[in-house]
Chains A and B, each alone.
Chain A
Amino acid sequence: MRYAMAIDTKKCVGCGDCVVACQTENNVPHGYCRDWIVERVDGTYPSLDLEFRSERCNHCDNSPCVRCCPTGASHIEDGGIVLVEHNKCIGCGACIQSCPYDARYSHPEGYVDKCTFCIHRVKKGQNPACVEVCPTKCLHFGDLDDPNSDVSLAIKDRKWKVLAPEAGTKPQLYFLT
């Protein structure tokens, strides 16, 4: 099993519903977020290229955050979801330094926190909260090993990219371009 997400940058309008849904679902402290939206403008006027990206932890296959954690609090769950066990985390910040995507934050209570792919929902067979609420249906989630999953179908006939591939982390967010 390999959970992954595909984000359709052509469909995303940057409304931020995914951000709010995540904050509500996961009780994210005020002023923090586990997912966010980047607006990228590329080119010279009048030929400009605009892209909206809903970003979060990439649940990297080769995750530096897990490798550098001195206590084992950062670990990989079944299905490749990268998680932090709060009661093992000492808040040393090593994992925050090691993430090329700045996907982690230090929770006001001390431990480090980030996107969990809503593992509590996924275990029940539901989609992550952000995927569920997206009004343009531009987020696709599922098991990459299953050719009929939503995410496999989404990346099948489309061009896609991952962010900062040169960092070598093998990210599992696929941005459809």
Chain B
Amino acid sequence: MKEELFVSGRNIPNIDPYLNIWHWQIPLYLFLGGLAAGVLFFAGYFVVRGKEKKMQATVKWAPIIAPIALVLGLGALFWDLKHKLYFWQLYTTIRLESPMGWGAWTLMIITPISFVWVASYMKEIFPWWDWKFKFLDKFEAFVIKYRVYLAWVMMIYSIILGVYTGILLSAFNARPLWNTSILGPLFLVSGFSTGLAATIWISKDEKERKILSRIDLIFIFVELFLIVHLFMGFLAGSETAIEAARLFLGGQFTVSFWVFVVLLGLIFPATLETLELWGYHVPKWLPSALILFGGFMFRFIMVEAGQITRYLY
């Protein structure tokens, strides 16, 4: 038998009996960040590949989601801060060792890029659009001229953003569930998949949807592979890692993880997308909605469960 008890003093709000300092705001922030990263990456990708004409929704329409998602995500992060009035302190220091710090700076760069991207398509989307000021017209012409370069920068930053949503968690050595290097690529792939899902939902062009669905299927497949890899890594690891994995293998998160994330969020929509590619009729919004739901649940469960795992007690 081994038993450890607090005999004195400890029942600190949000720390005991288990850590619960991050609630829905952080997973929402991570989800929206991944979604924006996915949308922006593929917009950039098809411009760089010169497929702008073929992929209208991906390049022009879907990116509108990105600045909205990023601003909402930052809003959720701000909401979560306990000492809000000191928010600006994030930007008076550069701390490369802190994932939270470089995440804040990444958002500081990619958010304006996403606004500029969307703005440069405003006249194409809304023919009556008028910038009112001459210098804005000039700036727009400049952006359009060098759009391919902007696309490259956007692709690079969206990869950084996507990886960051996972690294934010994996850098916490103290939480065995998060402390694995797979989380970076896993969150990147999952974020890109949600971005694709949102784009498929928006697109009305049959051909474009088919291309996106094919790419999405690959991403879902890779994601499933990484999830298996994640658990294999835990089970081959230390006692604390094995205990972390047990939360999903018989423990309290088993049903929510395997049903909401893996079955409903990955396998079921992948099956629907495959059927659709084979020509069966599937409600258009359904696979996309499921992937988005699964993506959010994945982050929510990882953040909740990770806070329970620890070294001591």
Contact = CB atoms under 8 A, between A and B. Distances in A.
Interface of A: 14, 16, 19, 31-33, 35-44, 52, 64, 67-73, 87-94, 96-102, 104-106, 109-112, 163-164, 166-168
A31 B12 contact: yes
Given A68-B172, A89-B83, 19 more contacts: A19-B9, A33-B10, A38-B5, A41-B1, A43-B1, A52-B7, A68-B100, A70-B101, A73-B89, A91-B86, A92-B82, A93-B22, A94-B172, A98-B173, A100-B311, A105-B12, A111-B83, A167-B173, A167-B311
B236 interface: no
A108 B87 CA distance: 17
B9 A33 contact: yes
B80 interface: yes
A91 B82 contact: yes
A39 B93 contact: no
Contacts of A73: 89
A96 B81 CA distance: 13
Interface of A is mostly: loop
B214 interface: no
18 contacts: A14-B8, A38-B313, A39-B7, A41-B3, A70-B93, A72-B95, A73-B89, A88-B86, A90-B86, A97-B19, A97-B307, A100-B173, A100-B311, A102-B19, A104-B15, A111-B83, A164-B311, A166-B311
A76 to B, nearest CB: 13
A68 to B, nearest CB: 5
Most chain-A Cβ atoms within 10 A of its Cβ — which of B2, B9, B175?
A: B9
Contacts of A19: 8-9
Most chain-B Cβ atoms within 10 A of its Cβ — which of A42, A73, A98, A111?
A: A98
B6 interface: yes
Contacts of A32: 12-13
Contact of A96 (B3, B15, B84): B15
